[in-house]
Structure 1
């Protein structure tokens, strides 16, 4: 143990303490008083279950987070990073190959150690509250597909980043930044067509009043659509959602089948009007730019971190490298990640309010979107009264009550 090790471990525990406090305040602030906007909408028994669901989810997150902290601390203090690096170098793959094996081994270990929590969350907690529809076969296939994609796509990007930090000197962070920016932009285009269908089936929305209403609204707003699809989200969960994909003039709408089943035509159109608002108001472009600014700052700090003398040796590493430094940076970066996340979430919540306002002129007006938000909150057992610290730290969307009260003249 020395100053570097202590500083990084303390920073991790501080971040965990802050997020844990927010989680505790969130649970402590649960109230049995039904917000007036949900009277007659949220059955009392379901409202009780929503509070139980939040408590159960918080308990699982505490257990997962505590376990992760203990494992990382034990691994670091036992010299695990140095041991793993020494073993990887015996394979003779060179600096780049060794880096991919080293970081891949850490990612695989993280996935294996987190698997019991994923299994419990899916097949026990989500099932207990009636959400889970995932079969063991689907669960296993999802993990295999995710690991394969991570190895191919993530491995390729990681190789580019490691190459930049190993070969480009003081300009390494700029090279890595450019690689990540291009990769992210390309992924935004190809993911809806090539990657998402690996996990879900997308079927064209059948002809009928819903499709006509969506097409009429899109045409009135000047949106050219590549298609309107229904995704078989019900094969994993009863929760509902919708999303908008595509860049440029051509857009694709995807609706969860559970959303189509739960909402009226006007409500579905209002939800999609909200998503169209993000595109029309430039939120997709702005979000991308903000994400890239955040990434640029992160990579610049990473370069400074890699230049810290004695950092890697403090963790038992005999031969410092970019890949070991990247792994250690993933631990030391957590306070900065939390701070940058707060800023990003603030912008995201602002964008959501703007998109809500845009959707207020859809068929049914703001009342239709408010009604959809209420229905989805009930169906998903959402927390109607999150604590302000939790919202500030973690919420990319404003609390549902705030959104509803802006859309309607409610009793709130």
Structure 2
């Protein structure tokens, strides 16, 4: 669900066009939620970054890794794996209070239906997935650094690119089922309409699934995930229960726009390139003696360099965030236009955007600086204004 137009964004002065589509109470509610949760969400990011930098740029991280490895004999492999686990566990511990506070705020606004037990179980699942992914990757990485302390980053960059591509393909099959249950949409008019919409758009999908999102949230959503044989349309049960069939089709039409524009493939390729470049940057940074000295590590082959690598990766990610958000907003705007072109139903598109914004308690016109730094989608009022400015091709 997304928007913008060929005419560019609305001016930043005064309420954006489309603001009148929301009542003062709806606008105030979304703004209040944003103000209540943003300090905790942003604070969690900053705390995680501060932790990474504090451990990576001082001997504290090296001490943590050494102590963790000592619990398992102190060998090189034990230190690498135990140190990685310790860093992930500590990062999770720091992030947990902030995530809990955001969840509490969202529960107060009726967006969270999941109990604290389910929330804790999801946090543990996320940690387990992180460990399952990180431990083999770091093990291979340090095998490369041991073999070639100066040139390890060359094969590691290629491996990072391949891993990113593989995860994009496997994500809907391996990761999504960990957090949601999926069931085939029962045969009927809605399923046939969505399959017909995809066929009309020239997009082949394997199935139409329903995600049991209602056990966790009241938010509305749908998406198309996977590549090739794993591609499927997924609709939240909350969306199917509250939106009319035409609005559901518009949400899916937007998602099909991503497929038509090859956004998943392009995103995978860009992600692979970004992962490779990030590894190259790590190779450059961990080869600098002042940084190694600050971190209490001897070389890139020293397990004590782990916190420095994590700090550099966190900093690279933070600096790249606004640019990634800017690209995402343009991609979402293009998918909105595709939905309009595929359905030709401007008024229902506007009604759907309004429903999504109200149901998700969105700040429909957030401060521009927050939108530029953190928003992956244009604001609701910009999307509606873009829809009104859209004209069908002659």
Question: Could you say which residue in structure 2 is the equivalent of 1:18?
Answer: none
Question: Could you say which residue in structure 2 is the equivalent of 1:228?
Answer: 208
| SS of structure 2 residue aligned to 1:361 | helix
Pairs within 5 Å for 1:233-312: 233-248=213-228, 251-312=231-292
In 2, the alpha carbon distance for the partners of 1:203 and 1:294 equals 34
Question: Could you say which residue in structure 2 is the equivalent of 1:167?
Answer: 147
**Which stretches in structure 1 are left out of the alignment for 5+ residues?**
1-28
2:13 maps to 1:37: no
CA contact (8 A) 1:226 1:251 kept: yes
TM-score for both structures, normalised by structure 1? 0.82
CA contact (8 A) 1:373 1:404 kept: yes
In 2, the alpha carbon distance for the partners of 1:221 and 1:234 equals 29
Pairs within 5 Å for 1:95-114: 95-114=76-95
CA displacement 1:28-74 (0-9 Å, x = unmatched): x999x6x66353x5343232221111111123235435655665676
Question: Could you say which residue in structure 2 is the equivalent of 1:51?
Answer: 31
CA displacement 1:190-228 (0-9 Å, x = unmatched): 322233222211111122322121111112222222111
TM-score for both structures, normalised by structure 2? 0.85
CA contact (8 A) 2:142 2:301 kept: no
| Equivalent pairs, count | 378
Question: Could you say which residue in structure 2 is the equivalent of 1:387?
Answer: 367
Relative to structure 1, the CA distance from residue 374 to residue 166 in structure 2 (aligned partners, 3 Å threshold; closer, same or farther) is: farther
State the Cα RMSD in Å.
2.8
2:117 maps to 1:137: yes
In 2, the alpha carbon distance for the partners of 1:394 and 1:129 equals 21
In 2, the alpha carbon distance for the partners of 1:88 and 1:148 equals 18
Question: Could you say which residue in structure 2 is the equivalent of 1:201?
Answer: 181
Relative to structure 1, the CA distance from residue 251 to residue 71 in structure 2 (aligned partners, 3 Å threshold; closer, same or farther) is: closer
| SS of structure 2 residue aligned to 1:397 | coil
Which residue of the other structure, out of 361, 365, 368, is the alignment partner of 2:345?
365
Aligned-pair CA distance for 1:250: 5.7
Aligned-pair CA distance for 1:141: 1.9
| SS of structure 2 residue aligned to 1:396 | coil
Question: Could you say which residue in structure 2 is the equivalent of 1:177?
Answer: 157
In 1, the alpha carbon distance for the partners of 2:243 and 2:357 equals 12
In 1, the alpha carbon distance for the partners of 2:242 and 2:377 equals 21
Which residue of the other structure, out of 369, 386, 389, is the alignment partner of 1:406?
386
**Which stretches in structure 2 are left out of the alignment for 5+ residues?**
1-11
| SS of structure 2 residue aligned to 1:92 | coil
CA displacement 1:327-364 (0-9 Å, x = unmatched): 22332455543443333333222222222222113335
Question: Could you say which residue in structure 1 is the equivalent of 2:194?
Answer: 214
| SS of structure 1 residue aligned to 2:341 | coil
2:325 maps to 1:342: no
